[in-house]
Structure 1
Amino acid sequence: MSGLALIVALGAQNAFVLRQGIRREHVGVVVALCAVSDAVLILGGTAGIGALVSRFPEALDVLRWGGAAYLTWWAVRSFVSALRPSSLTAEAPRSRGSVIATTLALTYLNPHVYLDTVVLLGSLANQHGPDARWIFAGGAVLGSVVWFSALGYGARALSGVLSSPRTWRVVDLVIGVVMLALAVSLVRG
């Protein structure tokens, strides 16, 4: 349950999966990239990369400040988008390559993802002992696959209802507030 709570937290990656689902555009690729990326990061954290990163506080400081800057930028972007909402289905289609690049950037350039999946989930997994940690990690990976599939394909199924400018104004405002709150929490340590 702890793993799923970190994965489901509203953020840039989840917002992008939601957008792509509503647009009915390259949903399978986005879901697969997010799920595989989470699996790699979760298993890396369980294997001990999180402990290694924790031993170098300078690396955590870089992640913390980089994450705060990234999240602040995303919050501002969301607030600006909320001021000028448009129907997502009215936007021009994006190429598969552009969607893949954006998905990878939102995943791997977000320092918060390393704190959540590698450090926190890795630490939680390793509290379960040498054998049970892999069961915990497997559950977190399964939770990630289920979450991204439900988010992407659920949004696709509900695209008619979710694509209105008014809905996206609310979503962008909520995302902006959450991102700003996460940035402040990172700065505070």
Structure 2
Amino acid sequence: MNSTQHHPQHSTESGFTLVELLIVMSVILILMVMAIPAMQKTIIRANETSAISSLRDLTQMEGEYASTYPQHGFSCSLQTLGGKTVSGTPPTAESAQLINEDLSSGTKSGYTFTITNCTKTTINNVDQYNSYEITAVPNSVGHTGNRGFCTDENAQIRFDPKGGTNCTELLQ
């Protein structure tokens, strides 16, 4: 009688078991959960620093605009401070070419910039702006920034801790 013996086959394949893969994925997920909030805080800090720097630049460019075009005083729009630099086209009061295109568009590094509260005097049919306020508010409070920032012709930067334009606290 022939008896056939069955021997269990041993697999020579090597790899990870499903349990091992699940453990590794769980560890990766835990690390991501811990890292994402820290990364978000870093992004917010970087955006706020960029907004403050941009406000300082805008204040400086407002002063340059007022000294270059004294009959107009300050500029009351970002587009007037900006304008495309075209070869052979000199800057004008309507397109001073003092700031780059991303800032003159009004949006930079998660913040929206506007020039508001301009007071003007009209002399010989020319509007002369004597004051202004520049605001920078986060595009999404808590995601692109936490604080709103404001400055004016006095160059003091203030902030609103709620991300709006009610800037009552002086930036230190």
Q: Give the strand-richer structure, 1 or 2.
A: 2
For the pair shown, the structure with the greater C-alpha radius of gyration is 2
TM-score (ref. length: structure 2): 0.30
- Structure number with greater CO (CA < 8 Å, separation at least 6) is 1
